[in-house]
Amino acid sequence: MANPPSFYETPAPPGLKGIKAWLLTHDHKRLGLMYLWAILFWFVIALCVGFLLRIELATMGPTIMSARVYNSAFTLHGVIMIFLFIIPAIPAIFGNFFLPIQLGTDDVFFPRLNLLSWYLYMLGGMLAIVSLFSSGGFPDTGWTFYVPFSVGTKHNVPMTVFAAFILGMSSMLTGLNFITTVHRKRDPKMGWMQIPLFTWSLYATAWVQLLATPVISITLLLVIVERVFQVGLFDPAKGGDPILYQHLFWMYSHPAVYVMILPGMGVISEVIPTFSRKAIFGYKAIVVSSMGIAIAGSLVWAHHMYTSGMSDTAVFVFSLLTFLVAIPTAVKVFSWVSTLYKASIEMTPPLLLSLVFIYLFSVGGLTGLVLGAAGPDIHVHDTHFVVAHFHFTMFGGTGFAFFAALHYWWPKMFGILYNFRVAYIATTLTTVGFMFHYVPMFILGLQGMPRRYYDYLPQYAQGNMLAAVGGVLLFFGVMLMLANLMLSFRQRKTASANPWGGCTLEWTVPSPPPLHNFVTEPVIKDYPYDFSDVIAQIETEAKVEQGKPD
C-alpha cells in the first residue's frame, strides 16, 4: 500500500513554504518537533552547566570558577532544567505529538493557541538568555527566588522571574489545550476507560498545570512588584511575612513536581506493556492513581518548609499528608512490575531505560519518605541528601522517562530507527554514571554537607571526588545517547509503521504520520492494551519463517 505523503511534505495551513511552514504551522506534530529541538538545546546547555558545577566541587577550594559565578551557575542550572526542560519536556514534545493521535483525532482543540504556547516558550527562553548578559548578571538566588534575598540582591532577578512567568503561561495554555482536546476532540467511539495511559497522565498533568501555575504567576509578579515599589508584603520590617512567600511558592512548585513526573509515568505505562506483549496490570488503578497523585500532590506543599519557622502543627499535618502521595505512586510501581511478571519480554533500548526508571525512581521515592518525615528532615534539610533525592526522582525519574520516550517514539516521529547497540551502551554508561554521581551525595548529605555551598570541609573530599567521576561518566553517557539518535539521520534505517508491536493508535498510522494522522477511520479497541492482534501477527510471521523452504 502506498503511503500518503507524511506531515513533513504537507504544510498546515497549506501553501506555506520553507521556514514559514514551520514557524506559522498549526500542526501539532510540527509543533511537537519544534519543541523537541528547543528543549534539547536547553537540556544540553543546562547539562553542561551542571557538569561544570560538579567539576568545581571535585576538589576543595576554587577549582574552575569563582564563588560568585558558582552562585549564578547553580541558579542557571536549576532555572533552565526546571522551567525550560523538565516541566515542558514530555507534555510539550510527546504530548503535542501523540495526544491527538492516541485520541484518534487530527489535531488539538485550539491549534493556533498551541502555536502561541510555543512562541511564549521561546520568548521565555530568550528572556532567560538576555538576563544572563544584562546588568547585574544572572540571579544568584537559586531557582526558588526566596525572599528577602531575591528582593535585595543586585543581580537581575526581575527579568529572570519574568521569563519564568512567561514560561508558566506557556505551560498553562498547553494544559488548557490538552484538557479541552481530551473532552471535545476524542474519537466519539472512545470512552473514558479506553483512553491510553499516556494521554490519561497528560490529562491529570494538565489539570495541575492549569490550577497550580497561576499561583507561581502571582508569586513571581509579587517579587517584581516588591522590587519596583517596595510595598513590603514579604518584608518583616514593614509588617510582611517572608514565610508566606514560601507558602505561595510551594503551592505551585510542589504540584509542579507532579507536572514533571506524571507524564514520565505515562510514558513508562506505554513502554512496559508494549515490550511485555501483555495488557498492563491494573489499567484502572493506574488511571485513578494518576488523578490521585494530582489531587494529593496539591495538599502537601509545606513539607518543603519544615525548618523555615512554620508552626509545629503545620509541620505535623503536612508531614502526615505527605505520606499520602506514596500510596498512588506505589500503585503505579507495583502495576508496572506486575505487568512484567510472566510476560514475553522483548528487550529494546526504551524498555531498558524504563526498567532503569523504575529502579531509580523507587530509590528517589523512598528517600523522599526520609525527607517527608519531619524528624529526619530536620537533620538532612538543605544538605546534599536533598540534592540526591530530587535528582533521583527528577533525573532518574523524569529524565530517564524522557530518554525512554525519545527512544520509543523516535521511529514514529522521524520514520527511522537508531543503532540499538550504541543505545544500550549509552544507557548503561548513563546509569552507572548516575549511581556514582548521586549515591555519594546521599552519604555526603547524611554526613552534613550543605547544598549550594561553594566549598567544603576536608572530610567531604572523597565523596565529592567520587561524585565528580560519576558526573563525567553521566555526562558522556547522555552525550553518547543523544549523538546516537542524531546519527540515525545519516544512517536512515527506515522504520515500519509498527516497529515495536505497540497497540495504541499511534502505531496504526504510517511512520511518520500523514498530516491528518489517520488514513482510514481509527478502530477503537474495547481495551487499549489488547495485544491479541499483535501476538497473532507475530505468530503468523513466525510460521511463515518456519515454513520457508530450505
Which residues contact another protein (rule: CB under 8 A)?
A: 109-110, 113, 172, 175-177, 179-180, 183-185, 207, 210-215, 217-219, 221-222, 225, 229-233, 238-241, 243-244, 247-248, 251, 298-299, 301-302, 310-314, 317-318
278: nearest Cα among 508, 497, 506, 502: 502
- Least distance in Å: CB of 246 to another protein? 10
Cβ closest to another protein, residue 238 vs residue 543: 238
Closer to another protein by CB, 101 or 426: give it.
Answer: 101
What span, in angstroms and rounded, lies between the C-alpha atoms of 245 and 229? 17
Nearest-angstrom CA–CA distance, 300 and 132: 33
Instruction: For the CB of residue 318, give the shortest distance to another protein in the complex, in Å.
Output: 7
- 538566588: which residue's cell? 141
Smallest gap from Cβ 236 to another protein, in A, equals 8
CB count in 10 Å sphere of residue 88 = 28
- Alpha helices (H) along 25-148: 28-58, 67-79, 87-88, 96-102, 111-133
Residue 305: CB minimum distance to another protein, A: 8
Of the pair 147, 417, the CB lying nearest another protein is at 147
CB-wise, 180 or 447, nearer to another protein?
A: 180
Answer whether 234's CB lies under 8 Å from 222's CB. Answer: yes
Nearest distance from C-beta of residue 153 to another protein, angstroms: 18
Query: CA 61 from chain center: how many Å?
Result: 34
User: Would you say 209 or 504 has its CB closer to another protein?
Assistant: 209
Q: Work out how close the CB of 162 gets to another protein at its nearest, in angstroms, rounded to a whole number.
A: 15
Provide the 10 A C-beta neighbour count for residue 251: 18
Distance CA 170, CA 88 (A): 9
DSSP assignment of 224-248 equals HHHHHH---TT-GGGT--HHHHHHH
CB of 514 to another protein, least distance (A): 19
At its nearest, how many Å lie between another protein and the CB of residue 146? 16
Query: What minimum distance in Å lies between the beta carbon of 258 and another protein?
Result: 14
What type of residue is 304? Answer: H
CB under 8 Å to 470, separation ≥6 — which residues?
432, 433, 434, 435, 436, 437, 438, 439, 440
Question: Do 514 and 4 contact (CB within 8 A), yes or no?
Answer: yes
Residue 339, C-alpha cell as written in the block: 505487568
> Cell triple for residue 303?
513539607
Residue 129's φ and ψ, nearest 5 degrees, are -65, -45
To another protein, the closest distance from the beta carbon of 223 in angstroms equals 12
Nearer to another protein, 310 or 343 (CB): 310
C-alpha distance across the termini of the chain, in Å: 29
Beta bridge partners, 417, equal 493
Q: Provide the minimum distance between the beta carbon of 378 and another protein in the complex, in angstroms, as a whole number.
A: 17
Q: How near is the Cβ of 208 to another protein at its closest, in Å?
A: 10
Alpha-carbon gap, residue 526 to 193, rounded angstroms: 9
Q: Which is nearer to another protein, 310 or 443 (CB)?
A: 310
Closest to another protein by CB, 69 or 302: 302
Q: What is the DSSP letter of 452?
A: T
Comparing CB distances to another protein, the nearer of 45 and 314 is 314
Nearer to another protein, 230 or 459 (CB): 230
Q: State how far the Cα of 91 lies from the Cα of 269, in Å rounded to an integer.
A: 15
- Closer to another protein at the Cβ: 185 or 525? 185
Task: Kindly tell me which of 150 and 484 has the beta carbon lying closer to another protein.
Answer: 150
Q: Give the count of beta carbons closer than 10 Å to the beta carbon of residue 341.
A: 9
475 close to 433: Cβ distance less than 8 angstroms? yes
Helix axes 157-184, 197-229, angle to 10 degrees: 150
Query: What is the per-residue DSSP string for 113-148?
Result: HHHHHHHHHHHHHHHHHHHHHSTT-S--S-TT--TT
Comparing CB distances to another protein, the nearer of 71 and 517 is 517
Q: Packing angle between helix 242-276 and helix 283-296, nearest 10 degrees?
A: 170
- Residue 4: cis peptide before it, omega within 30 degrees of 0: no
